Amino acid sequence: MQTERRTRLDPKERRAQLVALGVAFLAEHPVESLSIEYLSATAGVSRALLFHYFGSKTGMQREIVREARDSMLRATESGPGLDPQERIHATLSLIVDFVREHRGTFYSLVRGVASGAPEVREVIEEARAVQADRVIAAFIELGYADTPLLRAALRSWVAFTEDLLVRIAVETETPSSQIVTFLERSAQAVVSVVDDLASDSVQPRAPAPGVSG
């Protein structure tokens, strides 16, 4: 009788396998419920091996969230050769498509991670910064001034976008085209308000009543 032999993986392959299993877990569960015990049992390896690769439960969760985040960022990066307006549209379309195809994972990333360890939350904050910088760069190319208010407003718009995507793209079947159009127009509205305020601030002030020129 032959005994089934477990395939031996080199350290890099084993680590990648463990991370992939963790990312798959995010599709159905929040990251904080992912334990060393669950992942070791699923992979058929010892708990000690997971501690060897990740150092701690938090380290394991951080690396799994990082891999899921990087996959999302790669999938939502628009291709080269697009003008700024086309790039904004393409980026938003890709984001909506990603959310629709990976609803559970997206929900776990933007909602589940919020209650996790600071090191894990930091990974998602980095993703928000990347997404914001993509949109900021496009609007600057369109001729809008690069100001602290513009950057703060669009970073806040990214947080608004995440919440809307959870409520609409994840939880309803609203047509993707409508979501993309709404997000495009909302970003443009935010930038237009910032631009109007900047224009107002450089207008000469009217003299105070009773003051002659």
Per-residue pLDDT tens digits for 71-93: 999 999 998 889 999 999 999 99
Q: Would you state the pLDDT for residue 98?
A: 96
pTM: 0.84
- What count of other Cβ atoms lies within 10 Å of the Cβ of residue 141? 13
Structure tokens belonging to residue 10 = 């080199």
What percentage of the chain carries pLDDT values higher than 70? 89
DSSP string, 184-208: HHHHHHHHHHHHHHHHHHTSPPPPP
Q: What angle do CA 15, 19, 22 make, to 5 degrees?
A: 145
| Spans of the chain below 70 pLDDT | 1-7, 114-116, 201-213
Structure tokens belonging to residue 154 = 């669009």
Q: Phi and psi dihedrals of 115, rounded to 5?
A: -100, 10
Q: Would you state the pLDDT for residue 32?
A: 85
Q: Would you state the pLDDT for residue 89?
A: 97
Distance CA(168)–CA(72), nearest Å, equals 18
Of 13, 9, 123, 133, residue with least CA distance to 68: 123
